[in-house]
Amino acid sequence: MPLSPNSIGLFTGTVLLGSDIPARYRHDRSGHVPSGAPEALVSAANVDDVRHAVRLAADSGWSVVVRGAGSGLAGAAAAGAGALVLDVSGLDQILEIATSDELAVVQPGVSAAVLDTEAHRHGLRYTPDPASTAISTIGGNIATNAGGLRCVKYGVTGDSVLGLTVVLADGELLHTGRRTAKGVAGFDLTSLFVGSEGTLGVIVAATVRLQPVPVDTVTVAAYFADIEQAAAACAAVLTARVRPAMLELLDEASLREAQNLLGVRAEAAGAFVVAQTDGFGARAEADRIAETFGRVTARVRVGTDAEAAHELLAVRRAALPALERHGRVLIEDIAVPRSRIAEAARKITEIAARHDSRIYTFGHAGDGNLHPIIVVPTDDPDAHPRAVAAADEIFATALELGGTITGEHGIGVLKRDWLACELGPRALRVQLAVRRALDPNALFNPGKAV
Amino acid sequence: MPLSPNSIGLFTGTVLLGSDIPARYRHDRSGHVPSGAPEALVSAANVDDVRHAVRLAADSGWSVVVRGAGSGLAGAAAAGAGALVLDVSGLDQILEIATSDELAVVQPGVSAAVLDTEAHRHGLRYTPDPASTAISTIGGNIATNAGGLRCVKYGVTGDSVLGLTVVLADGELLHTGRRTAKGVAGFDLTSLFVGSEGTLGVIVAATVRLQPVPVDTVTVAAYFADIEQAAAACAAVLTARVRPAMLELLDEASLREAQNLLGVRAEAAGAFVVAQTDGFGARAEADRIAETFGRVTARVRVGTDAEAAHELLAVRRAALPALERHGRVLIEDIAVPRSRIAEAARKITEIAARHDSRIYTFGHAGDGNLHPIIVVPTDDPDAHPRAVAAADEIFATALELGGTITGEHGIGVLKRDWLACELGPRALRVQLAVRRALDPNALFNPGKAV
C-alpha cells in the first residue's frame, strides 16, 4: 500500500481520497461521466507535487487524469474508477514576461485572459483566444491545441507555444523547445505535446509567444440572404488578399437566437458575418471587406472603436449562451476546406431535418471550422439518441468533404470511434507507437484521445 | 542476396551499384564526406520506387539516406559505407494548386522557387524562402524545417506544412495532417516529420499552405555606426508594433565584402540593416521603420518598387557568395533571443580574434538567427582546426545566451556532439525513444541528427 502517511506527507497541496472527492472532478464540460469514481485527487501546489502524484499513481496502479479548469468539451478530463485526478489549476503563476523577446513563461493554471491582460501592461498581447478564455486554463488550451476567433490571422494555440516543461511518466522533468523565435535542434517535441490531451505527460510550464497590441482594429459586420451568399462573401474577402484577424459566420437560426438573448431588434437574415482587421493596414483591409460584402448586401456596418467592435461582436459571442437556454447542447466542431463551408452548412440543415433535431451552426469561416450545436430539449427523452445519430452524420459529412471531425476541441472520449475513421488503421498504429514510446505503461489518460 | 535481377526489375527509376555511383552522392553542401562509399543509388521515378528502395535496403541490411538536391548544410544527406542513397529529386511534380483553399500538394523534388512561381499564376505565393530556394528542394526544406528571410512575419517552412505523405520503415505509406486550416485529431505527426532530417521516413508528398500575393511591398535599408546601434534599431522597430516581412542585418565586414562583390560604391558603416514590409499596411509600416532608423542614422533608403527592392536587398543576398570567394566557408547558424543579438555579434568578433579566424556575421535580426561565416583560406593548413575551435566557442556562446546551436540548418552529422549539450541527456533519451518508435531497426540515416 503505497499511500502511507509518509507519501501523503510529501505533498504541499491537498490530497483527497475516495468518497471525499467532490463529484465535479469526475467530468468536464462535455457532460460525459465515466463509470466509477476516482481513487484520489491531488490538487498540486507546486511542480514537486505533480512529480510525486505521477509516481504515486504509478506505484498504486492508478492512471493519471490531468485537470485544469475542467472546461474541456470532449471528455479528456473525465475521471472514473482507477484514476488519480491531478488538478494543476493551482499552478497559476505568470513566471516571466520578457518584453523585448516578446514571450512569457507561465504555469498551466493561468488563464489566457489573465495572461493577455498582464501582457497588455507591456504593450503586448497573447493572441490565442478560445471562446472559453475566461474560464479555461492555458494548460488545457495547450493540451487540446485550442483554437478561437483570431486563428485565421494568428494561428491556433500551438502556433504560440515555443517550449514546454513536462512531467513524464517516470516523474522526471522534460524541457522541450526554446526561447528563440527559431530553432531546429532535434525533433519538435513541443508540437507533439500540444494537442496530446493529457496522454503523454503533465505540462507544468509553457514558454509562449506574445505579440504587440495592434495599432488599430476595425470591425465589419454584414447580413446576408443565405449561407451560400455569406460563405461566398467570406471567400471573396480572402481572395481580395485581406487577412482578417477574425471572420465569423452565423446561420439564420443562430442569429435569431443570439438576437433574442441580447434583446436587440431582431434583424432577419439568412446569415450573419462579422470580421475584424488589425494592424497598420486595418482600415484599408476593413474598407476592402466592406466593399466586398457591399457587392451582395446593403446591410453592412463598420465599427472603428472598441465600443462598436463590442456591439458588432456581441451577436457572435451570444450564440452559444443563447442556445444553452433551450436544453443540453452537443457542441460539435468540424472543419472543412474553406471552399466547402456552404456545402457543409447545407448538409447539416438536411441532417437536422432527417433526425428531427434542432441544429444551429456558427463558427470560424476563415478557418472552415464550424460548430454545429445540437440542442437536446430536456423534456424529450428520445431527443438524445436522435442528436447522437445526427452528430454521427455530421462527422461523416466532414470527412466526405475532405475535412476533420475536430478543428479545435479534441478527441477525448467522445470522438474516439471516429478518430479511427479519420486517421485510418496505419496512422492510428503510428500514433499509438509514439504514445507508447513516451508512456510505456499507459499511465496517462488511458482510453482517451488516440 | 536480395538484389536479384528481379528486385532491380521492380524499379521504374535508375539503380546504380557500388563504384558506378557518382562521387557527388556521398556528400551535401556541408563538405562533410563520410568514410566509405554507398552501396546503391536509387533515383526514384515514383512513390513505388521509394517503397521498393526502403524494402530493398531493409532486406539488404543497408541504411537509407534520402537525398533531394544535396544542398543541405549539416551533412544529413552524406552517405558512406552501408548506405542506399534514395534520390527523390525526380519526384518533382506539383500535383495540385487549390486556389480557394490556398494550398498546394507537391512532390518532394519540387523547388520552393518553382512552387512560388506557379502559385503566382493563381494570385498566391509560397512564403517560405530559404536562401537556397533556387537550388534546394521542398522535401529537403521540410526535412530540415528550413528558414529564410521572410520567417519573421510568415514563419519557418513547418508553419506552411499542413500534411505529409511519408514512406515508413516498413515500406508502407503514412498520411499525416489535413487539408483544413485547423485540425486536432490525434498527435501532430506532421510537425514530428518536419525537421526530422531523414531519420523517421521518406517524405513523398506534402500539402502546403499558400498565401495571397501582398497588395504592396516596401523595402527600407539603413547604415548604422555599429552592430549595437543596428540591433537596437531592429528592436525598436518591433517595439513600434511593426511586423516586417524581413529584417536582415549585416556586420561591417560582411557589408564590405558584399559591396566589393557587387562592385557598388563601398559605403562604410558599422552595420547594415534591410527591412521589408508587405500587405495593406506596408507603406505605413515602412514609414514607421524609416522614422525609427532615422532617429539614429541619416543614411536611410526607402524603395517602393520591385527594382528598388532588388537593389536594396542585393547587398544582403551577395554576402555569402562574396565570402565564398575567399576560401572554404563554415556556415554557422545560431539563434539567440532577439534581445541578445548585439551581445552575440560582439562575442563572435572576440572569438574570431582569439582563434585568429576570419568570421563574418549576418542573418535574420527579426528572428535572432545569425549566420557567422568562418572563412577558411585554402592556403593556410592550420586555418581549419582554428575555425573548428572558433565554431565550438560560437555554439557555446549561443547556449550561454539562452539560444540554440541551429536556427534553420539542422544537426546532420556536424553538430551531433553539440545537440546533447543543448538538449541534455533526458530530452535526448525521449527523442531517441520517439525515433525508435517509428524506425525500430535504425534504417533511416543512422548516426545522424538525434
What does pLDDT average to in each consecutive run of 10 residues of chain A (450 residues)?
69 96 95 94 98 97 97 95 98 97 98 98 96 94 96 96 98 96 95 98 98 97 96 95 97 96 89 98 98 97 95 93 93 95 96 97 96 94 95 97 96 93 95 97 95
Residue of A nearest to B238 (CA): A212
Compare CB distances from A406 to B184, B288, B364 and report the shortest one's residue.
B184
Is pLDDT of B7 > 80? Answer: no
Q: For domain A94-212, give the CATH number.
A: 3.30.465.10
Contact B438 A438 (CB under 8 A): no
C-alpha cell read off for A118: 498582464
Residues of A in contact with B178 (CB under 8 A): 335, 403-404
Decide if A165 contacts A195 (C-beta within 8 A): no
Residue of A nearest to B403 (CA): A180
Is pLDDT of B6 > 90? Answer: no
Contact A174 B427 (CB under 8 A): yes
Contact B180 A369 (CB under 8 A): yes
Contact A182 B338 (CB under 8 A): no
Residues of B in contact with A285 (CB under 8 A): 280
Residues of A in contact with B433 (CB under 8 A): 437-438
Residue of B nearest to A410 (CA): B184
Q: Which residues of A137-161 are buried (b: 16+ CB within 10 A; e: fewer)?
A: bbbbbbbbbbbbbbbbbbbbbbbbb
**What is the tens place of the pLDDT at every residue in B8-26?**
789 999 999 999 999 999 9
Decide if B370 contacts B336 (C-beta within 8 A): yes
DSSP H helices in B325-374: 341-354
Overall average pLDDT of the B373-402 stretch: 95
Residues of B in contact with A432 (CB under 8 A): none
CB pairs under 8 A between A and B: 273
Shortest CA distance to A241 belongs to which of B54, B401, B120, B433?
B120
Contact B434 A435 (CB under 8 A): no
Overall average pLDDT of the B67-78 stretch: 95
C-alpha cell read off for A175: 524541457
Residues of B in contact with A123 (CB under 8 A): 239, 241
Distance from the B188 Cα atom to the nearest Cα atom in chain A, whole angstroms:
6
**What is the tens place of the pLDDT at every residue in B312-349?**
999 999 999 999 999 999 999 999 999 999 999 999 99
Distance from the A16 Cα atom to the nearest Cα atom in chain B, whole angstroms:
32
User: Which residue type sits at B188?
Assistant: D
Residues of B in contact with A175 (CB under 8 A): 424, 427
Is pLDDT of B179 > 70? Answer: yes
Contact A335 B181 (CB under 8 A): yes
Label the pairing between strands A40-43 and A83-87: parallel
Write the DSSP string, B62-118: -EEEEESSS--SSSTT---TTEEEEE-TT---EEEEETTTTEEEE-TTS-HHHHHHH
CB proximity list for B22: less than 8 A, separation 6 or greater: none
Contact B181 A152 (CB under 8 A): yes
Is pLDDT of B1 > 80? Answer: no
Q: For domain A214-322, give the CATH number.
A: 3.30.70.2190
Decide if A363 contacts A320 (C-beta within 8 A): no
Cα(B417)–Cα(B405) distance, integer angstroms? 11
Q: How far is CA A428 from the centre of its chain?
A: 22
DSSP-based three-state secondary structure for B300? strand
Overall average pLDDT of the B185-206 stretch: 97
Distance from the A279 Cα atom to the nearest Cα atom in chain B, whole angstroms:
7
Cα(B46)–Cα(A39) distance, integer angstroms? 55
Domain boundaries along the sequence of chain B: 5-87, 94-212, 215-317, 326-409
Decide if B215 contacts B284 (C-beta within 8 A): no
Contact A434 B187 (CB under 8 A): yes
Which ipTM value was assigned to this complex?
A: 0.96
pLDDT at A355: 97
Contact B184 A411 (CB under 8 A): yes
Residues of B in contact with A214 (CB under 8 A): 241
Residue of A nearest to B421 (CA): A185
Compare CB distances from B182 to A151, A180, A435 and report the shortest one's residue.
A151
What is the CB neighbour count within 10 angstroms for residue A172? 15
Distance from the B409 Cα atom to the nearest Cα atom in chain A, whole angstroms:
7
C-alpha cell read off for B305: 518598387
What architecture is the A5-87 domain classified under in CATH? 2-Layer Sandwich (3.30)
Looking at 3.30.530.20, 3.30.70.2190, 3.40.920.10, 3.40.640.10, the CATH number of the domain B215-317 comes to 3.30.70.2190
pLDDT at A2: 52
Optimal mutation site among B159, B160, B187, B436, interface A, most CBs of chain A within 10 A: B187
Distance from the A383 Cα atom to the nearest Cα atom in chain B, whole angstroms:
27
Decide if A188 contacts B194 (C-beta within 8 A): yes
Distance from the B139 Cα atom to the nearest Cα atom in chain A, whole angstroms:
16
Cα(A357)–Cα(A349) distance, integer angstroms? 10
Longest dimension (CA), chain B: 73
A374 CB-side CA count, 13 A: 26
Measured N-to-C along each axis, helices B282-294 and B227-239 cross at an angle, to the nearest 10 degrees, of: 140
pLDDT at A1: 44
Compare CB distances from B430 to A189, A214, A427 and report the shortest one's residue.
A189
Provide the CATH topology of domain B326-409.
Alpha-Beta Plaits (3.30.70)
**What is the tens place of the pLDDT at every residue in A321-338?**
999 999 999 999 999 999
Contact B337 A403 (CB under 8 A): no
Decide if A337 contacts B162 (C-beta within 8 A): no
Write the DSSP string, A341-394: HHHHHHHHHHHHHHTT-EEEEEEETTTTEEEEEEEE-TT-TTHHHHHHHHHHHH
Shortest CA distance to B373 belongs to which of B293, B234, B203, B253?
B253
Cα(B428)–Cα(A368) distance, integer angstroms? 38
Distance from the B281 Cα atom to the nearest Cα atom in chain A, whole angstroms:
4
**Is B326-409 in the same CATH topology as B5-87?**
no
Residue of A nearest to B145 (CA): A184
Cα(B163)–Cα(A368) distance, integer angstroms? 16
